[in-house]
Amino acid sequence: MNKLLIVLSAVFLLLTGCASSVTKDIMVDTDVDPKANLKGYSSYAWLGSASIVYDPEGQWEPPQFDMDNEVKFLIDRELRAHGMTETSSNPDLIVAFAAGIDMATMEIKTDPDSNLQTLENVPSGALTVILIDAQTGLAIWGGIATGEVQQNPDQAVTRQRLDYAVSSMFKQLKK
């Protein structure tokens, strides 16, 4: 029993350690209209066709990975967890998201061996989610996640990073 507990603890630490290292660069921030009564919203619809930046070179989106659908799936999941349902007629909220990538972002990095600072290219990206009151057309809540673009990403890591970003945003959505 003791050995099993030690093995399970080690596996848990390994998995949580990997999860945090994969997402440690992601920063999330949200803002809500102080006059918005989020408890008054129970349905939503998508604003047109939301999309992520086109990436024909595959620099930041893994091949055969549909990031648009993945982000939409994650947002749907979070809104449903907050008691909302998707509808095509008379929604309370309109949902929009967008992403942007800057492949030319530069950042000062410190070499751990020499303690010298150098300027390095660190591509960055951002995902923004906005909830809009359907009656007024005004944004009532917004979330943004920013992070470094991963080099040669695989689908599992990309999914994990997107899940972390969207989940973290909606944890801050108080209902």
pLDDT tens digits for 59-85?
555 567 678 889 999 999 999 999 999
Q: What is the pLDDT of residue 72?
A: 93
The angle formed by the CA atoms of residues 81, 147 and 60, to the nearest 5 degrees, is: 95
For 149-175, write each residue's pLDDT tens digit: 877 778 888 899 999 999 999 997 765
- β-strands 93-102, 43-46 pairing: parallel
For 85-118, write each residue's pLDDT tens digit: 999 899 999 999 998 877 777 878 888 888 888 8
Q: Please, which pLDDT band fits residue 123 given cuts at 50, 70 and 90?
A: confident
Whose structure tokens read 């470094």? 148
**Contact by Cβ (8 Å): 73, 162:** no
> Among 9-13, 46-50, 121-125, which stretch is predicted with the lowest mean pLDDT?
9-13
Residues shown for the chain: 175
Q: Cα–Cα distance between 105 and 120 in angstroms, integer?
A: 8
**Contact by Cβ (8 Å): 98, 108:** no
* Domain 25-171, CATH: 3.30.160.670
